[in-house]
Amino acid sequence: MAKIEDLGEVISTDVLIVGGGISGLVAAVKAKEESSKVEVLLVDKQTIGWSGKAPKGGGFTLVLTEGEDADDFVEYHVRNIGYYLNDQELLYSWVTQMYAAVEQLSAWGVRVPKNADGKLNTMKCPLFDPRFKYKWSIAGIDLDVLFPLRARARKTGVKTLNKIQVVELLKQDDRIVGTVGFNLIDGRFYIIKAKATILANGSCNYKAKRMWHSGCGDGIGAAYRAGAEIRNAEFGNFFDVHRKDNDGPAFDYTALYNALGENISLRYIPVPRSDIPSELVLGMEKEVKEGRGPIYFDPSAVPDLFKPLSDWPRPNFHNFFGRTISKELKYGAPPSARVEVSVALNAELSPIRVDHEMKTSLAGLWAIGDTSQMGSAIVGAVYSPPAMIRGIGLGLATRSGMWGGSSAARFASQASAPKVSEGEVKRLKEVIFAPMGRTKGFSAEETIYGIQDVMCRVQYNLRRSKERLEEGLSKIEKVQQRLPELWAKDGHGLGKCHEARNIAVCGEMTLRAALTRTESRGTHFREDYPNRDDKNWLKWTIIREKSGKMVVSTEPVPIEKYKFKP
């Protein structure tokens, strides 16, 4: 029997955090604050400080300021967005703790807009519909947010490793005791033993949009294969209204017109909503199918909802938008009064089930940020981020990082040293490097396109029916049958193969859960079951792997203990 050290680089730590985006960095700092003696290792497949979503766009986060009522926010969310599938207690804790969480970021060195009196300089977010009376405030979090957090983490003794792609979780009986993965540059195999492991490696976005590419569902796939529960996967289908000229979203959905010049927004959304509802996306599809496409956005017909945001005095905001806009002017399509728009999938599948401390259903494993926003049930019947109120993504990543980091550090202070089976590590190494043993077969790109071909289509992933979901699943199964033929010639290619595997498993999860839920609710719309069915479906869907198969069950929402009931 080979010794573990002969198989690769062996590292031991108390707390291992996989993913150095905002949630991972916050968890690392918090774990050290909880106990300075706890050893914390943060690994990322990219470069910590630049990686993940927080440096890509945005950003602002929802906070409640003086006079803004938490119950009012929770009630709005539960009745109009989460449709009673929310964990109302967690939603309440989160929203009441967000102001303090942003102040904590500021104390750690993050530059957030402040007034002369030192208080946060907040504003009300006016995006998407000028008719919607937005009652809650937002605080600014800029694109440089990760640098001060990285500095803080290193100062407190957190160790960091870049370019390590974590692939699988290590188990000792039913407890998670670390991970295995490899270095993307030199291909070296890594075995990381840990008393507590935190997944902070993002949601699944199917590589459909460039700024969302870091979310390939790596943590979701690994947690699922290790036996963790997955919750509410059917709602990971965020379709945004996408401007064809600049690759960004249309920030006012009330100014959408069909080719006949008719305003279609008000046709499909008579009542103002906090964000783009699926009814509008379905309406856009209907217009095009009935010959009234393409759809246009007419910015001149509405007030510039983005202006208050761009006028907000913020340290790094203009830097980013200035560069983006100048690139757009140089290389983009010529400016036009009418901009063609389409629907485009962001997805944001974040379904690892967690409790109020961000513990998963497996001992020794936590999941924070975009890995578990939907799986925490905090947002109910909707994708997350942004959960139909933009500014929830960064906020949940921050707060869940604080909850999860403290909890994992407490656990690691008491836990026994992990024992890792050499046989299991050897088996996983063979599985992970198998694509490098082939010189031809099925490519990662073909796999990803095959899954995108299902998940990016409204007909499978938004306007759902039994027949079409089964058709979509059979297409995914065909792709999955070819996964044993995946091949790679170097570390980067190997990384893509594993991303492709996880993207495939995430697609399957979403469609299987959608097939199970025989009603329509939130962003889950079934043409064959068009109504909400509170009698039978105040339930969460739960997915687990059993003997290599994906099994979906349901669990009643404990609505009796929650404040807001249908």
The residues that touch ligand FAD, with contacts defined as CB under 6 A, are: 18-24, 43-46, 51-54, 56-61, 165-166, 200-202, 211-212, 214-215, 218, 369-370, 385-386, 390-395, 397
Nearer to ligand FAD, 43 or 339 (CB): 43
Nearer to ligand FAD, 57 or 293 (CB): 57
Nearer to ligand FAD, 43 or 256 (CB): 43
CB of 264 to ligand FAD, least distance (A): 26
- Determine the 3-state secondary structure of 40 from DSSP: strand
Nearer to ligand FAD, 46 or 413 (CB): 46
Q: And the tokens for 299?
A: 């910015």
Strands 189-199 and 9-18: parallel
Amino acid at 74: V
CB of 228 to ligand FAD, least distance (A): 15
Q: And the tokens for 136?
A: 């809650």
Nearer to ligand FAD, 218 or 519 (CB): 218
Residue 466: what are its φ and ψ, rounded to 5°? -55, -50
Cis peptide upstream of residue 8 (ω within 30 degrees of 0)? no
Give CA–CA dist 409/13, Å, rounded. 11
Amino acid at 161: L
Q: Are 52 and 245 in contact (CB under 8 A)?
A: no
Nearer to ligand FAD, 43 or 436 (CB): 43
Torsion of CA 559, 561, 562, 566, to 10 degrees: 40
Strands 40-43 and 9-18: parallel
Smallest CA-to-CA distance from 251 within 215, 298, 212, 213 is with 298
Q: Are 193 and 11 in contact (CB under 8 A)?
A: yes
CB of 167 to ligand FAD, least distance (A): 7
What are the beta bridge partners of residue 520?
none
CB of 25 to ligand FAD, least distance (A): 8
Residues in contact with 276: Cβ distance below 8 Å, sequence separation at least 6, in sequence order: 128, 240, 241, 249, 253
Q: Are 364 and 176 in contact (CB under 8 A)?
A: yes
Nearer to ligand FAD, 74 or 352 (CB): 352
CB of 441 to ligand FAD, least distance (A): 22
CB of 180 to ligand FAD, least distance (A): 11
Q: Are 312 and 123 in contact (CB under 8 A)?
A: yes
Residue 196: what are its φ and ψ, rounded to 5°? -135, 135
Residue showing the smallest CB distance to ligand FAD in the complex: 369
Nearer to ligand FAD, 22 or 408 (CB): 22
Nearer to ligand FAD, 23 or 104 (CB): 23
CB of 90 to ligand FAD, least distance (A): 16
Helix (H) or strand (E) holding 545: strand 539-546
CB of 295 to ligand FAD, least distance (A): 22
CB of 437 to ligand FAD, least distance (A): 21
